[in-house]
Amino acid sequence: MKPYKFILSGGGTGGHIYPAIAIADKLKAEYPDAKILFVGAAGKMELTKVPNAGYEIKSIWISGLQRGSLVKNLLFPLKLMVSFFQSVFILLKFRPDFAIGTGGFASGPILIIAHYLKIKTLIQEQNSFAGITNRLLGKKVDLVAVAFDDMKRFFPENKIIKTGNPIREVLVSVNDKKSDAIKSFGLESSKKTLVILGGSLGAKKINQIIESHLPLFLKLNIQLIWQCGSLYFEHYKKYNENEFVQVHAFLKEMDLVYAAADVLLSRAGASSISELAVIGKPVMLIPSPNVVDNHQFHNAQALAKTGGAFVLSESEADDKFEALFNALLRVDQKLVKKEFVHFAKPNATQAIVDKITNELKSN
């Protein structure tokens, strides 16, 4: 039998790229001889991240609509048409057995053309409020893998499979690495550790909140691992002079980062929410207000319903942070782990690959 061929598409943000890479890794483990090709948008971060993960990627000339900018949207119809032709060429040349989309405008043309070429298709929706590309694709594809309940608002109910969001395998067993994490970061085991995650570029408001509350953390005898982001590192690195503060532009070994944490403060991207649920530690979520369809707020609310997460809006942060943080410190971590387990899906990637396998065998 010929090796299976898989096309994966999705990008624009890490929240779309990393789930696609996780699925590709699991497919490769399941089918070592499989050929895997990614398709992304020209000029976007997937063109770097995917090759770094060891996969080939082709680009198409697609971009999203720019809200409030007529001039920037003038080329959109042409880009869309060209992207459809590019997708036809890529699919006819590669001839995949299965096409998988993980969201973002790059996955639109390739999945639509795959549908019309009678190629089996699956999309994976990370958010509790589905993105516009996936909402459109949901009418065409064979399967829709979701992480949240009540997604029939966006997709045909007979296509929905609740799998959870793919997460990095290394994060599933972080709670066994506490002592390694303390040693790696040079932490004091007698102190509680707050981990702040604002994304690889950084979150301006989160950084401002942390900076203004440094005296509070000192008073509470709390040590910080603070990812301020590459855009803000030059400004905040001065706080590395404080022995209880570690400021990082970005953090690589996320298993040790999560293992070190007693409590966390984070944005509420879909991938982050899924990872935090698997980790099972008290977390304060500050959703980004600059995300299409307010995805992060809906994601945060879904996790907060379990009782182990608090949601704080940027507009209320200055007034409510201290009270909410004190409440976060009082949360029973064992209870959080118990409540989060109903939400967490550590085997999501395997569940998605199992569904793909079933579809392939049904041909």
Q: What is the pLDDT of residues 211-268, one digit of tens each?
A: 999 999 999 999 999 999 989 999 999 999 999 999 999 888 899 999 999 999 999 9
Is residue 7 very low, low, confident or very high in pLDDT (cuts 50, 70, 90)?
very high
pLDDT higher at 271 or 179: 179
Residue 44, pLDDT score: 82
Is residue 70 very low, low, confident or very high in pLDDT (cuts 50, 70, 90)?
low
354 three-state secondary structure: helix
Does the pTM of the predicted model rise above 0.75?
A: yes
pLDDT higher at 49 or 118: 118
Highest mean pLDDT among 2-16, 113-127, 278-292: 113-127
Contact 289, 314 (CB under 8 A): yes
> What is the average pLDDT across 67-95?
83
Is residue 9 very low, low, confident or very high in pLDDT (cuts 50, 70, 90)?
very high
The 10 Å Cβ neighbour count of residue 73 is 15
Is residue 298 very low, low, confident or very high in pLDDT (cuts 50, 70, 90)?
confident
Residue 72, pLDDT score: 66
Residue 67, pLDDT score: 59
Domain architecture of the chain: domains with CATH? 5-167+346-361 (3.40.50.2000), 170-340 (3.40.50.2000)
Query: Among 88, 95, 85, 101, which residue's Cα sits nearest to residue 40?
Result: 101
Tens of pLDDT, residues 85-94:
999 999 999 9
Query: Among 325, 335, 314, 307, which residue's Cα sits nearest to residue 268?
Result: 314
Instruction: Take residue 80 and report the two structure tokens written for it.
Output: 């869309």
Residue 68, pLDDT score: 57
Residue 89, pLDDT score: 96
Contact 166, 19 (CB under 8 A): yes
What span, in angstroms and rounded, lies between the C-alpha atoms of 291 and 268? 10
Is residue 152 very low, low, confident or very high in pLDDT (cuts 50, 70, 90)?
very high
Burial state string for 150-180 with b = 16 or more CB within 10 A and e = fewer than 16: ebeebbeeebbeebbbbbbeebbebeebbee
Rg of the chain on CA atoms, in Å = 21
Is residue 353 very low, low, confident or very high in pLDDT (cuts 50, 70, 90)?
very high
Tokens 């790059």 belong to which residue? 106
What lies within 8 Å, CB to CB, of 183 at 6+ separation is: none
Backbone angles phi, psi at 122, to 5 degrees: -145, 140
Q: How does the average pLDDT of the chain come out, rounded?
A: 90
End-to-end CA distance of the chain: 14
Q: In a 10 Å sphere around its CB, with 0-12 CB exposed, 13-18 middle and 19+ buried, how is residue 358 labelled?
A: exposed
Percent of the chain clearing pLDDT 70 (strictly above): 97
